[in-house]
Amino acid sequence: MKLLKLITKVDGNVIREIEFNDTLNIITNKRDSNLSGNQIGKSVPGRIIDFLLDGSINPIYIDEEFGTAEPNIRQLFEERDVTSSLSYIGLDGNITEIKRNLAIENSNVCYYVNNELKTKKEYNTHILKTMFNVYSTKPTLRKLAPKFLRTDASRMTKTVKFNDDKFPISQADRNTLFLYLFNFEDTEILSKIQKLKTFLDNYGKKLISFNGIIKDDKIIGTIKSTKKELDKLEKFLLLSENNTDKLAIIDEINSIDNKQNNLSDQVLSLDLKVNNITKTQSLLQANQSHQLLSELEIIYGYAAIKMDSVIKDYDSVLRFHNHLLDTKSEFITDGFEKLQVKLHKATDELKLLEKKKSSLYLELKSKKKIDEISDSVKRIGELNKTLIELNAIVEKKDSIETRLEEEAKNLEKLSEKLSGEFQNVNTFETEFKRNFKGYTKVFYGIEYNFNLNLDTTNGDCRPSVDDIQSNNDGGLKRLEAITFDLSYIKSVGSLDLLRPTFVIHDSIDEVDIKHIRQLFNESIKLSGQQIVSMLVSQLEEVDYRKYKDYIVLELSQEDKYFKV
């Protein structure tokens, strides 16, 4: 990635524009001025970038030591519309411009990404992704920024404990921060593993507790005995006076009902047929002696037979006609007796079924005492409640066991992934140590040892610098922090990692000129950006000419950063 340009505007007009070099960037005061180079805003660009990375506005206009505001700058922020924007090529390869208005009141602060108004969360998320390649909730932007923005004396003089004292950082957050810096990709694994371990520990204790309760209270045996008693009581309620299962009796009654329905249909059908035959036969017998001659004419006329020629007298006609009626009657009553037999048989079967069903209903009626039944029902309710409570304990125990098995498998998977992440960390640490020793050899003549002191069992990091001689001296201590940062950028570049390759260093005036020269020479060779602020008086004329092309901003008492 690369920082491209920092622009500050007042009421929409550009008052300051800084274009950054690919390597060394020097912010200083004008060499040809006889006035002091202090209090002109050399540290302001770095502090504005820190502000753009969701930092506080206070360091930009409030004195760090005395806590007093610079009145002119404060008035500017209160009365005018002051904005600053930083454009950079992100780790995603795209150019991003982030912008904030320098408003003292938090309620007036606005966040912009590529000129689009964003919420603070959207703004920070975009920066974390594009500038830091962070897609998880940790580390946060404010935990990361101080490593790359050493914009005050505190950050400049603390090699590994560079986070702001006024914003305490927990050991867990420090672990996450350094693991991220040392190429640990999924920084949330540790918190996930810690949660899983805590969960397994707590649930393990719960399982022991439940197992103890189940064992001590003999819950399994109690459940079995309770079930037996319940079965006995339920059977007691379901037995008739003759100890016959009432459910079986009900089944038999239902079976009889089905048979009765079928027989009833059969009886109705047979009865209808018998009645029809009987009525027809009665009609034939009633009309046998009262046939009219006209009827005969109609009947025999149909056959085209003339009665005069066929029938000799009325008696012969009647005999002939009665013979026909007898034949018809015989035809109608054919099988009549069999129908009557079937009807009687079906009717008798119906009566027997009804009698049997009545006896079953009598057997179904209990003669047991009401109190006895009531006590049994009450006892069944108590036993059911007890059984539910006991089963709940056993089911909870089983649920805990199942969950423990599932989370243990998840922990195993995460542990395997964690092992691979730690390998990445070890690779980066080896490269970083080599570069750190190289830089300290150049600046101090001694190879300093750096150790992350990583505990792979819990991800605990306690970074330390082990040197032979103490670096309490301000200039040497600042130089140690600088060599740490340059080693980081060099390691990221050599391993081609998706991590930021820029750093801002506040005033390096306390650093000896010979070390400044070495620092600048090493920075120019670096595949990353270093932005430093310093007094030009630290540089000799030959140095000024040599490094002039790397000066990106020159200020003076007549031309302070905010021009007020």
For the chain, the structural domain boundaries read: 1-132+502-564, 246-365
Q: What is the DSSP string of 149-186?
A: EE-SHHHHT-SS--S-TTS---HHHHHHHHHHHTT-S-
Cβ distance 357 to 239 under 8 Å? no
Taking residues 210-237, report their average pLDDT.
72
Residue 75, number of CB atoms within 10 A of its CB: 13
C-alpha closest to that of 507 among 30, 68, 70, 38: 38
What are the C-alpha distances in Å from 538 to residues 150, 543, 544? 20, 9, 9
Q: What percent of the chain has pLDDT over 70?
A: 80
Q: Residue 344 — pLDDT band, cuts 50, 70, 90?
A: confident
Q: Is the confidence at residue 311, as pLDDT, over 60?
A: no
b/e string for 464-497 if b means 16 or more Cβ within 10 A?
A: ebeeeeebeeeebbbbbbbbbbbbbbbbbeeeeb
Structure tokens at 138: 């940790």
226 burial type by CB count under 10 A (0-12 exposed, 13-18 middle, 19+ buried)? middle
Query: Tens digit of pLDDT for each residue in 466-518?
Result: 866 656 667 888 999 999 999 999 999 999 999 999 999 998 988 999 999 99
Q: Residue 307 — pLDDT band, cuts 50, 70, 90?
A: low
Structure tokens at 180: 């991220």
For residue 428, the surrounding DSSP H or E stretch is: helix 370-444
Phi-psi region of 369 (alpha: psi -120 to 50; beta: other; left: phi over 0): beta
d(CA 455, CA 190) in angstroms, rounded, equals 12
d(CA 147, CA 518) in angstroms, rounded, equals 22
- pLDDT value at position 196? 82
15 burial type by CB count under 10 A (0-12 exposed, 13-18 middle, 19+ buried)? middle
Lowest-pLDDT range, 24-28, 241-245, 360-364, 437-441? 241-245
Cβ distance 449 to 433 under 8 Å? yes
Cβ distance 477 to 471 under 8 Å? yes
Query: Tens digit of pLDDT for each residue in 1-17?
Result: 999 999 999 999 999 99
Q: Residue 70 — pLDDT band, cuts 50, 70, 90?
A: very high
Q: Is the confidence at residue 539, as pLDDT, over 90?
A: yes
What are the C-alpha distances in Å from 154 to residues 158, 274, 507? 6, 120, 12
d(CA 311, CA 317) in angstroms, rounded, equals 6
d(CA 219, CA 236) in angstroms, rounded, equals 25
For residue 81, the surrounding DSSP H or E stretch is: none
**What kind of fold does domain 1-132+502-564 have according to CATH?**
Rossmann fold (3.40.50)
Q: Is the confidence at residue 81, as pLDDT, over 90?
A: yes
Q: Is the confidence at residue 133, as pLDDT, over 90?
A: yes
d(CA 10, CA 453) in angstroms, rounded, equals 48
SS3 62: strand
- pLDDT value at position 207? 75
Phi, psi of 465, deg, nearest 5 = -115, 120
Phi, psi of 136, deg, nearest 5 = -105, 175
Alpha-helical runs (H) found in 103-148: 120-132, 141-148
What are the C-alpha distances in Å from 473 to residues 43, 477, 510, 516? 21, 6, 9, 15
Taking residues 275-301, report their average pLDDT.
64
Q: Is the confidence at residue 214, as pLDDT, over 80?
A: no
Q: Is the confidence at residue 90, as pLDDT, over 90?
A: yes
Query: Tens digit of pLDDT for each residue in 178-192?
Result: 999 999 988 778 778
More confident residue, 366 or 166: 166
- pLDDT value at position 370? 47
- pLDDT value at position 231? 77
Residue 503, number of CB atoms within 10 A of its CB: 24
Cβ distance 390 to 219 under 8 Å? yes
Q: Is the confidence at residue 193, as pLDDT, over 80?
A: no
What are the C-alpha distances in Å from 53 to residues 43, 141, 338? 16, 7, 109
For residue 7, the surrounding DSSP H or E stretch is: strand 2-10
Written as one letter, the residue type at 18 is: I
Instruction: State pTM to two decimals.
Output: 0.68
Q: Is the confidence at residue 63, as pLDDT, over 80?
A: yes
- pLDDT value at position 217? 64
More confident residue, 358 or 235: 358
Cβ distance 532 to 45 under 8 Å? no
Select, from the ranges 158-162, 345-349, 388-392, the one with the highest average predicted confidence (pLDDT).
Answer: 158-162
Average pLDDT, the chain: 83
Q: Is the confidence at residue 99, as pLDDT, over 50?
A: yes
Going through 23-94 in order, the beta strands assigned E by DSSP cover: 24-29, 82-89
Structure tokens at 556: 């003076």
SS3 letters across 356-421: HHHHHHHHHCCCCCHHHHHHHHHHHHHHHHHHHHHHHHHHHHHHHHHHHHHHHHHHHHHHHHHHHH
Taking residues 255-281, report their average pLDDT.
78
Query: Tens digit of pLDDT for each residue in 472-485?
Result: 667 888 999 999 99
> Which residues, 6+ apart, have CB-to-CB distance to 388 below 8 Å?
none
Residue found by looking up tokens 């302001």 in the block = 44
More confident residue, 374 or 27: 27
